[in-house]
Amino acid sequence: MNDKHDPARFAKLGFEDFRRLASDPALSPYEKIGFPDAYRAGMEPLIFADILAKLTTLQERDAVVLDVGPGCSQVPRLLIEHCRRLSHELHLVDSSEMLDQLGEHEGVHKTAAFYPDCPELLQQLAGRTDAVIVYSVVQYIFVDTNLWAFLDATLALLAPGGMLLLGDIPNNSMRKRFFASGTGRAFHRAYTGRDEDPVVAWNRIEPEQMDDAVIFAILQRARAAGFHAFVVPQPAALPMANRREDILVIRP
């Protein structure tokens, strides 16, 4: 496989790594957010359409919106334009290196921080945020910092009826189920170009991997705090829908 298309080169990234990627002019916008071009090029309008379909509060007018870790590819640009059309108050939290590439826009407020280490913004948005997007981010929070502190701080932002999308979560249990199936084995052979089945290992410790246990723990914590929480699938057209899923949280 050509190294340029190997997702392994984007493994074990953290906040400081993304700052470095964002500053590298040799990388594409997709590579700067940790994906090979083949995983995101041409797909981001589909991703944004899925976000809009799930976060229905984004389709109202004059909403308060927060995107945690938007990166610098097409999705945040689509979000900025969408929010402009509907007169939303949009807040973006990421490194300054990422945010600088998105430019300045009326109604868009940028906070350079390693979320949730932004107490003034958390206080400003507490209990009044209609839509929160956390897309392709939770897996890094899980490894780098306290996932529960992240979740608790974010739940506290939601207004009544407000919605949180924890999107594009890589679930190692889901990945194993897929690659243990006939469909998954055929997918693997077609993708690698080799006539061999993927190796699927069960019942072993796998550090830094999100799995069913983590997914259901997130649901339980949100529900115990008084929020509705659901696992929702990604559309089949998305590039990693066979091994990633989303969590939707709603404040009643």
Whether residue 15 lies inside any domain: the answer is no
Report d(CA 73, CA 93) in Å as an integer: 15
In the β-sheet with 228-233, what is the strand arrangement from edge to edge?
A: 108-112, 89-94, 64-68, 129-135, 158-170, 244-250, 228-233
Task: Write out pLDDT tens, residues 197-231.
Answer: 999 999 999 999 999 999 999 999 999 999 999 99
For residues 125-139, average pLDDT: 97
Cα separation values, 235 from 125, 131, 238, Å: 31, 20, 6
Q: For residue 114, what are the domain limits?
A: 42-171+210-250
Task: Write out pLDDT tens, residues 143-160.
Answer: 999 999 999 999 999 999
Specify the 3-state DSSP secondary structure of 189.
helix
Whether residue 142 lies inside any domain: the answer is yes
CATH code of 128's domain: 3.40.50.150
Buried b (16+ CB within 10 A) or exposed e, 10-33: beebebeebeebbeeeeeebbbbb
Whether residue 16 lies inside any domain: the answer is no
Q: What total number of domains does the chain contain?
A: 1
Whether residue 81 lies inside any domain: the answer is yes
Whether residue 65 lies inside any domain: the answer is yes
The yes-or-no verdict on residue 3 having pLDDT over 70 is no
Task: Write out pLDDT tens, residues 55-76.
Answer: 999 999 999 999 999 999 999 9
Whether residue 189 lies inside any domain: the answer is no
Contact (Cβ atoms closer than 8 angstroms) between residue 65 and residue 83: yes
Cα separation values, 233 from 125, 185, 220, Å: 28, 21, 18
pTM of the model: 0.92
12 compared with 164, residue with greater pLDDT: 164
Buried b (16+ CB within 10 A) or exposed e, 216-243: eebbebbeeeebebebeebeeebbbbbb
The yes-or-no verdict on residue 2 having pLDDT over 70 is no
Whether residue 8 lies inside any domain: the answer is no
Q: Which residues is 46 bridged to in the sheet? A: none
Going by pLDDT thresholds of 50, 70 and 90, the confidence category of residue 191 is: confident
The yes-or-no verdict on residue 233 having pLDDT over 80 is yes
